[in-house]
Amino acid sequence: MHEHIDSIKTYAVVFVALLFLTWTTTFVATIDLGPFNVVVALAIAVVKMMLVVLFFMHLRHSTILMKVVIGGGLMWLGILLLFSLADFGTRGWLPVPGK
């Protein structure tokens, strides 16, 4: 059994990075970036998620099978979001009778 054990230092660096990003997203939210406020907020959230998933949840040491399963899950998530938003986003485009 070759279990990979990360060092506590690695975890500590990730932990500090997560706290820093929390502070950053809170601060950036007070600056008016127009439509990009939400883009920046979500980008920071995605970076934080990746840090947690790769380091705290050990995905970077996981097998290909595990990565494929998670990738598959994200693909279904993409279908859910893409198709639903395509529906709601385009409802006003055509004068469909009885709408």
Partner 1 sequence: MLASHTETLALREQFETPAQQKEASSLGMWIFLVTEVMFFSGMFLAYTVYRAAFSQVFSVASNTLNVVIGAVNTSVLICSSFTMVLAVHAAQIGSRKLLILFLILTMLLGGVFLGVKAYEWNQKFEEHHVPGPTFHLDGTTQQGQAQLFFSLYFAMTGVHALHMVVGVGILLTLLIQAFAGRYTAEYNTPIDIAGLYWHFVDIVWIFLFPLLYLIGRHHH
Binding site for partner 1 (CB under 8 A): 1-3, 5-6, 8, 11-12, 15, 18-19, 22-23, 25-26, 29-33, 37-38, 41-42, 44-45, 48-49, 52-53, 55-57, 62-63, 65-66, 69-70, 72-74, 76-77, 80-81, 84-85, 88-89
Q: Least Å distance between CB 96 and partner 1?
A: 18
**DSSP calls for the chain:** -------HHHHHHHHHHHHHHHHHHHHHTTS--TTHHHHHHHHHHHHHHHHIIIIIT-GGGS-HHHHHHHHHHHHHHHHHHHHHHHHHHTTTSS--TT-
Indicate the residue among 34 and 98 with the shorter CB distance to partner 1: 34
